[in-house]
Structure 1
């Protein structure tokens, strides 16, 4: 299979974070009807010396705070990670900070606020459970204090990638190896629980010759469930080996008991990939991902009705080599806000780098404005998807993972979580973005002084990719997973 070609440096691990940027705003809709001067604008860069902080999701709480879901990873050679919740106030200052996990690898993927004001987190754990890695559900109160956690899985690796609160509990979806037709090939997995996380039923999806994982789940108005995921077609060249030939977007509708009502695929190119979706006020779904054009990924936004029929499809290329779609949400005015990434050349390194990108669409899918958040001397790492949410003041919050690496040849990188709060037309405080680069330079000075006097490194120049399925299946978006074997 052809691999998506990319020119820039994404062969590094699942790390690195947030930083500064200037970016220029392109307005296509004239004057905004809101009042940007009244909306909060700030940038928050969260990093810890000797660790990698990836931001996987964000929500705004009922009282106006922001809760960031972070994967906090110990640096080389440990690589074990914990789940971290960081609560920011309206101005971006930290109110509280919680960590969940033990000595082994644990990873978060999605968070929702629950009806009681607390939070529900979906992910995976190797610290708890009995298998190689289990799907993990954590319930906390409004201050992030754990109330309970539950694991689900079998002998091999299983992972929850999304969660939704239902009328009587929760539904989570992801993939399973434990209950697959081959223990090293993932298939789709859905688990329904009661309000205390006790399993009520589970369903697997995926026949022999296919790999599948789910990226979004939602309870429909009729009490059933919509599921969106990625379906890979496989060939079988050798015993205990499977290669991917192409990837399609998969849409499934279930009834309230988990029985399949319909199942549809969207196939436009060799690779069609979904990373996020949202429900719409008319009962449909909008999907954010990318398709392939001339061996490059191109952001693709697709609207389907409640029966899975495509109503429209739109791509966004912006004249650059590659673009990706990660997250979409319907906005207060009936339009949509899309979070993605695009390649631009960094003025410091003269290399193509991936940067955070917001696009505002009206209800008819016409572009109103777009804004890219360029980081001097670094890039927004594509291993963890970017997420965007509209905020109560009419603005937006965009989160992701930033990799500051222009001094990497000297052995120093800084990887952390970045949150960019914008006004209603995508503007933020560019000065605070630029401060991220200065933070990196200040960290380098401290690191160099420590190395000079103590002869020790805080970071390793070459950071290998994780090899287990959690990272080979939800992968570097420059190089989709193309091979499964019993050796994984």
Structure 2
């Protein structure tokens, strides 16, 4: 599908088409309402008066916690099995602060990241144990390691990586050098691999308008030393927006190609899933059907893939988008496409019992939304992984659209 350049500067969020919502989420929700069915699928919407919700995580004991903001700033919410709020805990930061990431620590307690660029560690009840203040730049991705360390990736004048210990101390802080071929690294995703090392992914901004964007991935060890680095160059610009380790040791990356359209001054954005071996060498790549930008991918239990993406909503208007959850087999054949309309999904977790737990926001009302889907419900509609990151949808769309605009200048 083509995106007209005259629309790229406008808001990239969908305005919900009523019959799409009715087809996908039969019981449309209002503020503080909920919808569900007997199979265990439910959706909860939290009004701004209840407190905004940005991320959600199911603990190893089955409890569900959500992160967001309330009257006094950043908050943690405890949720019951039906999605209703059972408790709240202020974690501070001022009335404009919001917790935008939450994940359980392997050593117990919770890690949160806030809009104040602070990493916060709490106990299981939400009591703050320590806070690490990010000194500069903007964090784009966080990975909680198996040993309780936290790796944060971000961008400033140059991109950087910071490792934080379970006690809240900075273990190391490294700035990435200029990439081979010139340009500037921009980090999108960091994940721990099965061997305990980490993969860092993103794209290279060439700076020069005459050159293409390039996707990249690099593997680093626990000390931040580079094991290997690969660039993914094509005749078109390419940007990697997400990466996921595979059980066989390889990697799956969401790669969006950006090309100049053939007519009408349009630019085409085509999403792919790039599959590599454990050394980052490309094995195959397949087009992602039904969306224009893919911003999250993870391996499904059957070795297929779950993906989050956006598609232009031509029924609502050429500058408006809808958000989708997709499921493909391991060869890229589409099995499931579930639209959430104007609900922008920011957080996705595959729980220990195979459920899909998501958090996002209704871009029309601004209300927070938490959704639980059973895999069986997904299958009926069309015949342990990590969060994609806080504010990540906006950042990805902004970067891809900015690149598309630049190609025409």
TM value normalised by structure 2? 0.76
Change (3 A) 1:425 1:350: farther
- Offset of residue 95 of structure 1: 2.2
- Offset of residue 480 of structure 1: 2.4
2:389 match: none
2:309 match: 340
Q: Is the 8 A contact 1:231 1:250 kept in 2?
A: yes
Which of 153, 158, 161 is the equivalent residue of 1:190? 161
Q: Is the 8 A contact 2:199 2:219 kept in 1?
A: yes
Q: Which has the larger radius of gyration?
A: 1
Q: Is the 8 A contact 2:150 2:166 kept in 1?
A: no
Which of 298, 302, 317 is the equivalent residue of 1:329? 298
1:445 match: none
1:1-400 aligned within 5 A? 5=4, 11-12=10-11, 21-23=21-23, 39-48=39-48, 53=52, 55=54, 57-70=55-68, 72=69, 82-103=73-94, 106=97, 110-123=101-114, 125=116, 135-153=117-135, 157-166=136-145, 168-177=147-156, 185=157, 187-207=158-178, 210-235=183-208, 246-268=212-234, 270-293=236-259, 294=261, 295-318=267-290, 323-346=292-315, 353-374=320-341, 379-381=342-344, 386-400=346-360
SS in structure 1 opposite 2:149? strand
Change (3 A) 1:289 1:162: same
TM value normalised by structure 1? 0.65
1:62-106 Cα offsets, whole Å, 9 max, x none, are 233333343x499xxxxxx95443332221111233444434865
SS in structure 2 opposite 1:40? coil
Change (3 A) 1:394 1:220: closer
Q: Is the 8 A contact 1:326 1:340 kept in 2?
A: yes
- Offset of residue 139 of structure 1: 0.8
**Structure 2 unaligned residues grouped into runs of 5+:** 26-35, 262-266, 382-391
- CA distance in 1 between partners of 2:88 and 2:50 (Å): 18
- CA distance in 2 between partners of 1:170 and 1:218 (Å): 12
When the two chains are superposed, the root-mean-square deviation of aligned CA atoms in Å is: 4.1
Change (3 A) 1:39 1:472: closer
- CA distance in 2 between partners of 1:329 and 1:427 (Å): 16
SS in structure 2 opposite 1:22? helix
1:89-131 Cα offsets, whole Å, 9 max, x none, are 2211112334444348656554321123421124552xxxxxx
SS in structure 2 opposite 1:21? helix
SS in structure 2 opposite 1:480? helix
- Offset of residue 328 of structure 1: 2.0
- CA distance in 1 between partners of 2:379 and 2:75 (Å): 25
Change (3 A) 1:189 1:9: closer
Q: Is the 8 A contact 1:86 1:98 kept in 2?
A: yes
Instruction: Give the number of aligned pairs.
Output: 375
- CA distance in 1 between partners of 2:63 and 2:348 (Å): 15
1:373-402 Cα offsets, whole Å, 9 max, x none, are 23xxxx245xxx633322344332333222
Change (3 A) 1:297 1:171: same
- CA distance in 2 between partners of 1:86 and 1:394 (Å): 22
- Offset of residue 59 of structure 1: 2.3
- CA distance in 2 between partners of 1:389 and 1:368 (Å): 19
SS in structure 2 opposite 1:342? strand
Q: Is the 8 A contact 1:244 1:481 kept in 2?
A: no
Query: Quick one: higher RCO (CA 8 Å, sep 6+), 1 or 2?
Result: 1
Q: Is the 8 A contact 2:188 2:201 kept in 1?
A: yes
- CA distance in 2 between partners of 1:364 and 1:482 (Å): 28
- CA distance in 1 between partners of 2:366 and 2:80 (Å): 23
- Offset of residue 420 of structure 1: 2.4
